[in-house]
Structure 1
């Protein structure tokens, strides 16, 4: 008996990436599983889901109105139609389980599942849950709810963040891995390396601060990989031309190499980034996005409290801060090693995609295939212990 699952979520990489990781694990366990992804016609899912070989179904985005206007008047009817359309999909496709990760389409998917009696599984990425997943968690049982960060105010359990197996496999204690990653990025493996990224959209404040401190970093012998975001790096690239070891990239395909190469990472505090850094044990300085409802500060709070990272407000991340705080930190191996050790002690869950997939099989009443994960899917812990067993 193969599983039929509808995965609901999209709009941003923060929703699409964990969704794809869950789908990948389901397909690994059950190659005959029927998986469809529910999204909107405008989000990143329109590109990423078909590229992953999955079927994308779309419904209109129906955001909750924030003020009384014409959209508010149309909202009830549009929302009812969205729920009805998803309920029809669930019936027509004999869907066994709805797996939601939040976002605009998840609320209609949860309500449609409730209407049709389809089991619901919820994964919440942020430390502060969004409206959709608060609804989903209320409509299902606690054992079908998982969240990324400890202390998230939802019933359920901390499972971590579904992510690519390449991230879960990172082992910064293996010199060969770190050397290969640096070389793949065009970096010198022997140099102290600072990796800076503002995410896929870039971060103007981070870029400006790094531009102002470029000379001091170079003079200290620090190698910098600065991932600026598409179209955000022209000024930095022009200035960096004067320095041999300041590397500017619009993007990096495969952040596992950046995590391995970095002695220190400067980054935003999106849920996916915080989770990946925590799994990979990368010393980090988080610069939370200053807009939104404050979820980025909450995402990073546990890591900072554990001593695995630092955090600074966006407005305070200036060229002076880079000179006075970042530069002394990245050139202090003892402090960095202490941060890595603190990250290891956190024991951040590293196999969330497996956990959510197992929950989906169980919720649907479909036996989990129990297929064993091979070396290409081992986490660093599994590789260490299983390799040791084989050579004992």
Structure 2
């Protein structure tokens, strides 16, 4: 029985459940100052740069933020979505949220509200939480879009949400989505994307190289599980494809600085493959839920150039899962599972993008 609201009481929206998809971040433009603001926020995060502030701050503000905005801006400019005046990562993440929302709306009506945010840049995480709360969401599921957990990605995305929650007088209840590096539905979507892409080629790649974003080796030594999760993803993808042993390999890209990073390095690996006679290769980036500067510029330009310069002949890139239907179905199914007890019932696994009816 619903009790009437007393006279003069503030309006109360209908109770709903919020889902917040969170991706890494993006600059608001490719010029120096937008790039500097974005890089400053990103590289000031102690989850990302585990160097004492007294040591890192002069390097960041005196050198990196003087030089790197121009270089990064040039890279972003080469892949910028001019029509929307935004990065592809923002375009794709918005589409993912809209499509996941559409699937969930078909199954659950207005009970769920889906929004999206970036850990760094805009749209920011805090205002997104406030938007969900204003729509009656007294329970929110945080969904960092990182298949392989790392403190530098999943943890810092959750940290940012928690920091905002600390400022709220009336907090919603919160859950977080765990890493999904070995989920059958995710592996299946990856494999299908490879198979579909192979059908478009006029050659057969000798090697499929799964390139993951790099991480300083020291982070692994301190207990970050990211490396292990990446290797497992590559192994499960190889098993699902059923290709000959050794035909699917893994590597790590995007390193900077002098410290040792996770190996093998992607640029060095493609050069070595070419020298070994593997002159036709395909790359896939299973650590990214959406194509971004690391895939559209770094892989398709820098890594490709390194491979061709070393004697390679054919190079192709398998796009990220982005807003492909099987990926969206998988993401929606994960949401439904993680909302077990809030909507519908929980279930043990998510396979092939299946969902749960409330």
Length-normalised TM-score, structure 1: 0.35
Length-normalised TM-score, structure 2: 0.38
Larger RCO (CA within 8 A; separation ≥ 6): 2
